[in-house]
């Protein structure tokens, strides 16, 4: 198995504004596990723990293992998840979009609905699609 890249975990934690407690909570792994991992004391990890960590950091296991330099999760989105493409025009927007996606993913359904209502109000009551496009084809509906 390839070596886990701790620096990549730290980088993604920084992008998402996550500390070890938040990473433990969102991944379902223990705080002690995350602490030891970050200190380099966890040389071994099960495939399921690696997958839980990758999902919490919205990346792929291959990225965490250093098998790819693309942090985007590979494969099709999970059933019911929207897959969006953002146009990044200014420095820092990609990180902001990643952080926003992470936060929305952590919301309960009622919180997402309230957030969507707020976002639409800010956008003037529109659908809020300016600056993004769905990558899925419309024929699927």
Please state the domain extents for the chain.
6-65, 84-136
The yes or no reply on domain 6-65 and CATH 3.40.50.10790 is no
Could you tell me the pTM of the whole model? 0.53
Return d(Cα 95, Cα 15) in angstroms, integer.
6
How far is residue 87 from each of residues 58, 70, 90, 134, 138, measured CA to CA in Å?
19, 17, 9, 11, 19
How far is residue 74 from each of residues 54, 55, 78, measured CA to CA in Å?
11, 11, 11
- What string of pLDDT tens digits covers the 141 residues of the chain? 346 788 899 999 988 888 999 999 999 999 999 999 998 887 678 888 998 999 899 888 888 988 888 887 755 344 334 444 455 556 667 777 777 877 887 888 888 889 988 988 988 865 544 444 443 344 443
Predicted confidence (pLDDT) per residue in 42-61, tens digit: 767 888 899 899 989 988 88
How far is residue 37 from each of residues 12, 44, 82, 97, measured CA to CA in Å?
14, 9, 31, 27
**What is the helix (H) or strand (E) element at residue 133, kind and residue range?**
strand 132-134
């Amino acid at each position: 198995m390839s070596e886990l890249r701790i620096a990549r975990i730290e980088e993604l934690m920084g992008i998402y504004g996550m500390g070890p407690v938040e990473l433990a909570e969102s991944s379902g792994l223990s705080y002690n596990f995350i602490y030891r991992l970050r200190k380099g004391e966890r040389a071994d990890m099960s495939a399921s723990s690696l997958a839980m960590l990758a999902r919490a950091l919205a990346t792929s296991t291959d990225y965490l293992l250093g098998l790819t330099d693309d942090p985007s999760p590979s494969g099709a989105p999970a059933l019911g998840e929207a897959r969006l493409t953002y146009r990044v025009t200014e420095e820092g927007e990609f990180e902001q979009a990643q952080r926003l996606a992470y936060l929305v993913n952590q919301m309960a359904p009622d919180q997402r609905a309230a957030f969507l209502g707020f976002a639409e109000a800010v956008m003037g009551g529109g659908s809020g699609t300016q600056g993004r496009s769905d990558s899925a084809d419309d024929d699927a509906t």
